[in-house]
Amino acid sequence: MAAAPDLGSGAERRGGSSPFTRTLKPESKIRVFLCPFFSNFKLMLVNFKIIFIYFFSLLIFLEIRSQTQQPYILVLGVAQDGGYPHLGCEKNCCNMAWKNDSLKRSVVSLALIDPATKKWWLFEATPDMKEQVNYFKTLTKGEYDYLPAGIFLTHAHIGHYTGLMQLGREVMNAKEVLVYVLPKMKLFLETNGPWSQLVSLKNISLKNLNTDSVLKLNSQLSVETFTVPHRDKFSETAGFKIMTTAKKYPFIPDIDKWQKWNKSIVKEVESVDLAFVDATFNEISELKNRKAKEVPHPFVSETMQLFTTSDPKTKAKLFFIHFNHTNPLMWDKSAKEKVEKAGFNLAKQGAKL
């Protein structure tokens, strides 16, 4: 029986070679060799993009978190000691506020807040302290202790310390709330009732401050204490420079006249980030039934004059506060616009700075 003819493979019949015997061209060999590398490289690029997006998002998150953890100031009150409207005032300046609660303003007070430690400090214990502590709770959505970690007092005029009564046994019966004061103010509270009872019952714990000294509250916060001239009948008058790791905020709600101070207010403002300064009266024309020498304060117009040659950046650091009820900057739109157009600021109740 004759043997079957060898027809060969189909590839051979078509004139080609077997895939198992075919010899690859050099460029094909390179492609075959590099193919796994390119596949891995593409995978690496995808992974790199994912890692980059992750770390970029993390950086953004940390930056936002850092910003939200920065200490800041809340303005809890902007009015002079009697608040706004003023008891006994039935003139146009107060009538509008008697009729409209939204126009009412509390006595001058600031809150220093440290989100990192969840602590806060109060500057001035005003007659409106009850409302202001609750206002603080509202503004911060109850994220902090109800009472502050400490209270700083400037002096013994009624708008700046009489809120301490709210800490007594008749109201909160608080336990050793820290109250920071200069020596004469400390003696005044210790030796005059009813304040002395707050001390003896340990509702408050008085902490002595020294002039031109710095008190460190924590790693991020400190307060420098200095004195200013201001009818010091019962105590000296303090000013405070609140200092965070990022900003400095001088707080001078009361002073007789800038010229009586042993420092230059212009230079002080130039060296800080934001300054709260006495704006009790706008002009002398407000004092119709009082002598200016009986209640000396720098008029806002005088303070602005001192900064005439200052650059816009310096002027913008100035925040007027402690407005008397007669001061049109409390209630007159055109008066407010005049000051703001000149480059200065008016402290606003509820503002975060």
Domains of the chain: 71-346 (3.60.15.10)
Q: Are strands 204-208 and 213-216 parallel, antiparallel or unpaired?
A: unpaired
**What is the CB neighbour count within 10 angstroms for residue 22?**
11
Could you tell me if 123 and 109 are in contact, meaning their C-beta atoms sit under 8 angstroms apart?
A: yes
pLDDT, position 64? 56
Residue type for position 282: N
Q: How far, in Å, CA of 166 to CA of 133, rounded?
A: 11
Name the nearest CA neighbour of 77 among 330, 275, 348, 271: 348
pLDDT, position 288? 75
Residue bearing tokens 């009697």: 82
pLDDT, position 141? 96
pLDDT, position 309? 97
Which residues in the chain show pLDDT less than 50?
A: 1, 7-21
In this prediction the pTM is 0.82
**The sheet that has 345-346: what strands, in order across it?**
213-216, 221-227, 238-244, 248-252, 275-278, 318-321, 345-346
